[in-house]
Chain A
Amino acid sequence: MNIEGKKQIWNAYQKEIAENDYFYARSCIRQNFFPASEVAFLRILREELHKNIIDDPNHTTCTGIGYHSDIVPFDTIQTVVARQFSLMTQAGLEHMAISCVTSFGIYTEILDLWHHFPEQLEKIREYLYKATKREFNLPKNIAHTSDVIYKFRNEIAEKAKYKLVNKQTGEPLNVVEHIGCHYAKMFPTKGVGGAEFPQVLVGMIESWGGNVVDYPERRHCCGFGFRNYLVQANRGYSISNTKKKLESMKPYKPDFIVANCPGCAMFMDKWQYTLAEMEGVTYDENGYGIPVLTYEEMAGLVLGYNPWDLGLQMHQVQCESLLDKMGIEYDPKAKYLDKNGNQMPLPEKPSCLKV
Chain B
Amino acid sequence: MRNFGFSTTKSRTIDYGDIDRRLISYILENEPTFNACLSCGSCTAICSAGNLTSFNIRKLSLQIRLGDLEKTHEEIDKCMLCGKCLLECPRGINTRNVVMLIKKGLTIFEIKDKA
Least CB separation from B1: chain A residue: A278
A232 within 8 A of B: yes
A30 within 8 A of B: no
A235 touches B4 (CB 8 A): yes
Which residues in A have their C-beta under 8 angstroms from that of B3? 278
CB distance from A98 to the nearest CB of B (A): 31
Q: In the complex, what distance in Å separates the CA atom of A240 from the CA atom of B8?
A: 5
A244 touches B4 (CB 8 A): no
B1 touches A279 (CB 8 A): yes
A243 within 8 A of B: yes
Q: How large is the interface on B (under 10, 10 to 19, 20 to 34, 35 or more residues)?
A: 10 to 19
A 234-261 to B, binary, CB cutoff 8 A, 1 in contact else 0? 1111011001100000000000000000
B8 touches A278 (CB 8 A): yes
Q: Which residues of chain A from 257 to 286 have any CB-CB distance to chain B below 8 Å in the complex?
A: 274-275, 277-280
Least CB separation from A280: chain B residue: B1
Q: Which residues of chain A from 186 to 243 have any CB-CB distance to chain B below 8 Å in the complex?
A: 232-237, 239-240, 243
A275 touches B8 (CB 8 A): yes
Q: Which residue of A236, A239, A244, A351 contacts B2 across the interface (Cβ within 8 Å)?
A: A351
A278 touches B7 (CB 8 A): yes
A232 touches B6 (CB 8 A): yes
CB distance from A81 to the nearest CB of B (A): 33
Which residues in B have their C-beta under 8 angstroms from that of A277? 1-2, 4
Which residues in A have their C-beta under 8 angstroms from that of B9? 236-237, 240
B8 touches A279 (CB 8 A): yes
Which residues in B have their C-beta under 8 angstroms from that of A280? 1
CB distance from A267 to the nearest CB of B (A): 13
Least CB separation from B10: chain A residue: A240
Q: In the complex, what distance in Å separates the CA atom of A274 from the CA atom of B8?
A: 10
B17 within 8 A of A: no
Least CB separation from B9: chain A residue: A240
Which residues in A have their C-beta under 8 angstroms from that of B2? 277-278, 351
Which residues in A have their C-beta under 8 angstroms from that of B1? 277-280
CB distance from A252 to the nearest CB of B (A): 19
Which residues in A have their C-beta under 8 angstroms from that of B8? 236, 239-240, 243, 275, 278-279
Given A277-B1, A278-B1, A278-B2: A236 in contact with B11 (beta carbons within 8 A): no
Which one of B5, B6, B9 has the highest number of Cβ atoms from chain A below 10 Å of its Cβ?
Answer: B6
CB distance from A1 to the nearest CB of B (A): 22
CB distance from A117 to the nearest CB of B (A): 38
Least CB separation from A237: chain B residue: B9
Q: In the complex, what distance in Å separates the CA atom of A235 from the CA atom of B6?
A: 6
Q: In the complex, what distance in Å separates the CA atom of A233 from the CA atom of B9?
A: 12
A278 touches B4 (CB 8 A): yes
A240 touches B11 (CB 8 A): yes
Which residues in A have their C-beta under 8 angstroms from that of B7? 236, 278
Q: Which residues of chain B from 46 to 60 have any CB-CB distance to chain A below 8 Å in the complex?
A: none
Q: Identify 6 residue pairs between A and B in the complex whose beta-carbon atoms are under 8 Å apart, listed by A's number.
A: A235-B5, A235-B6, A236-B8, A237-B9, A239-B6, A351-B2
- Beyond the given A236-B9, A239-B8, A279-B1, could you list 20 further A-B residue pairs with CB under 8 A, ordered by the A residue number? A232-B5, A232-B6, A233-B5, A233-B6, A235-B4, A235-B5, A235-B6, A236-B6, A237-B9, A239-B6, A240-B9, A243-B8, A275-B8, A277-B1, A277-B4, A278-B1, A278-B2, A278-B3, A279-B8, A280-B1
